[in-house]
Amino acid sequence: MSGGLSSVSFPKNAHAALANPPLLKAIAHIEETLVSGRRRAIDALPEFEALRDAGRDIKAHTLKHLDLYLEAFEKKVLEAGGFVHWAADAAEASRIVLDICQAAGARQVTKGKSMITEEVGLNAFLEANGITPVETDLGEYIIQLRAETPSHIIAPAVHVNKEQVAADFRRVHTNLDPRRNLDEPTSLLSEARGVLRERFLAADVGITGANFLIAETGSTVIVTNEGNGDLTQILPKTHIVLASIEKVVPTLEDVATIMRLLARSATGQEMSVYTTFSTGPRRAGDPDGPEAFHVVLLDNGRSAMLGTEFEDMLRCIRCGACINHCPVYRSIGGHAYGSVYPGPMGSVLTPSLHGLEKSAHLANASTLCGRCESVCPMRIPLPKMLRHWREKEFERHLTPKKARYGLAAWRFLATRPRLYGMVTRFAAWGFARFAGKKGALSQVPLAGGWTRWRDLPAPEGGTFRTEWAKRGRK
Amino acid sequence: MTTPKPRIGLFVTCLVDFFRPTVGFSAVKLLEDAGCEVSVPAAQTCCGQPAYNSGDRAGARALAEQVIALFETFDHVVVPSGSCTGMIKMHYPDLFSGEPDWRLRAERLAAKTHELTSFLVDVLGVAPLPINWEGTATYHDSCSGLRELGIKAQPRQLLSAVEGLAVREMRDPEACCGFGGTFCVKYDEISNAIVDRKAADIRATGADVLLSGDLGCLLNIAGKLKREGSRVEVRHIAEVLAGMASGPAIGETRK
Ligand code: SF4
């Protein structure tokens, strides 16, 4: 069970993940599926780099005028007969959703896949208030059965293997024929479909997220691969869209541009299988659609990022490419982060949403290798922002004492070249002598973090500067 | 009339100074063979990267000032490391925002600072003296060199001119090795998982030597291979290019 993990215990969480072979095996698949899929899709699209610039510019422009575009969006939603609610934080968003559900007399709600509902903890809140939420995305459905949280923003159950899913289905779907074959992903999918079909029909309210909000038309857009989002929002009488404020873009055409980046970066598809635009409730003459259409716009720390060094993060379209390419995520999976959003994007976003005190590990647990930035379709400078969090941590004296003293000692020494020369000369000589014929040491005092896993190569002997001076050179 | 030789300030880096002087001497040889006049200012220590990546801007700035003052009079500054070059080239100017004088000096230094292989290929455009070195190598792209400076083709181009040397690419040469400066001791268990994959990729090539342009990665990878009992040798690319790769490899001693 992962829901209880916290970012504060990140090293412990990581330790547990590294001792979990089925988990490591499951996340290793990201290479053959998402990473190579993205590579193929991008190699086939020569204008990809130009599209990245265009996508970045659209979002950067929108963020500069976010208030105007949000107001325009609200106006259009109202004109189409929908409602818009503004939520400052997670508690307010949950409250608003609950009020709408209660006013609709809802007992059961179906949900499309949405990270924002995870961010606000909506499922637990609804349950505590007597309303049963049913996840309809296969991955989300699986982790709901397992009482877990998503370990990836686009592949929530990426940490689970198919044997585990089969066992979960047999445990929960009690009228399941024990002879039913559940060996293949397709048979698992059809089993889930069968169960979900009844839930779709019984639901009073459907809740989805949004990949985009369009200011020009007042539409909300979701992209899915299973079509579950459409059934979630079409069948119940009430449709609630819960979306964060940075999802807004000016026009339909902007959506078309960014969509070309989204699926390719996420799964390597040219387009997701379903792309659904919703504009207001059902109109007279519409064959289907909800009778009531609500959009809940969540801030939750985002407007405070505007105008700061973290503004660029609000360009994120949640494709997950940075996560898939992150060597740290690929070593430990998503739950170890102890945050709603894992990987590089999560490590930048989480301190903004929940405060740096509880999440300082996240910004530090990165090699700053830069692969995340190199694949980010919105060209978000993730390493730079991770470093900004480290700076804030240092300024606020949150950096652990040992590291602070180490840095102070290094600065003292390194800004005194003569002393530095003496100390390093002596240390290199002593170290090399100590290593003797071995060339590398398997145990070094104060370097336990290194030598637990690797030998420490010994210095050659004299430092470069001494050897250089010996040759009479300048 | 002969054109004056370009005056190069070599920033050897703190890791090369301490662990692997041979890399410094190899760099000097490559630059002198290419017709440069090389100086190594004695008061150099560290570029400030550990402080910068730990959020200690003031500490990084203090070291940046020192490097700028020591090196700004040279025609070019050359560094046998992608990450230290990246620090000077991409991050120094940033440390002095709001201080126009210092910022200008930082920008001027950034503009004439180059990673060694990129300097040889992109700036000088000369081929190193022909050398012969028998073996099969695989090349690890260090993260900063690759993604901050775009160094990818240069080392391979230089290696392709080495007589007797075959280069066999690993599965994902652009994957991080897990070093990450202080990351490798702060999150040592994760760092180990990452370098474990790198070591496996290296072994899978069947190459007998692993080369790269950054001593941080090399110490990490050499330490892992050594712990695993692997016989793959680990060296800085400059040693091979300069024909100075006959001594013990990183983490080895004279047999
Ligand atoms: S930060 Fe970039 S790569 Fe990561 S999820 Fe967001 S858009 Fe995708």
Candidates A394, A435, A439; nearest CB to B54? A394
pLDDT 10s digits, A210-237: 999 999 999 999 999 888 888 888 889 9
- Tell me which of A314-318, A449-453, B18-22, B76-80 is least confident: A449-453
* Complete DSSP assignment for A355-393: -STTTHHHHHS-----HHHHH-TT---HHHHHHHHHHHH
Candidates B63, B182, B193; nearest CB to A331? B193
pLDDT of residue A1: 34
Phi/psi at A227 (nearest 5 deg)? 80, 0
pLDDT 10s digits, B82-125: 999 999 999 999 999 989 999 999 999 999 999 999 999 999 99
Residue B50 neighbours by CB under 8 Å, 6+ apart = A407, A410, B181, B182
Which chain B residues are closer than 8 Å to A428 by Cβ? 18-19
Share of chain A above pLDDT 70, in %: 99
**Residue A176: pLDDT above 90?**
no
pTM of the model: 0.95
pLDDT of residue B1: 53
Ligand 1 proximity of A326 Cβ (cutoff 6 Å): no
C-alpha distance from A407 to closest chain B C-alpha (Å): 6
By alpha-carbon position, which residue is closest to atom 2 of ligand 1?
A376
Q: Amino acid identity, residue B213?
A: G
Question: Which atom of ligand 1 approaches the CA of A265 most closely?
Answer: 8
Residue A53 near chain B (CB below 8 Å): no
Residue listed under structure tokens 């999918």:
A189
pLDDT 10s digits, A137-171: 888 888 998 989 999 999 998 999 888 888 888 88
pLDDT of residue A4: 63
Structure confidence at residue B8 as a pLDDT band (50, 70, 90): very high
* Mean pLDDT for all residues in chain A: 93
pLDDT of residue A170: 86
C-alpha distance from A271 to closest chain B C-alpha (Å): 27
pLDDT of residue B201: 97
Q: What is the mean pLDDT of residues B162-181?
A: 96
Angle between helix axes A48-64 and A66-79 (nearest 10 degrees) is: 90
Rounded to the nearest whole angstrom, what is the distance from the C-alpha of residue A38 to the centroid of ligand 1? 13
Number of H helices, E strands in chain A: 23, 12
- Tell me which of A102-116, A226-240, B161-175 is least confident: A226-240
**Residue A2: pLDDT above 50?**
no
Structure confidence at residue B2 as a pLDDT band (50, 70, 90): low
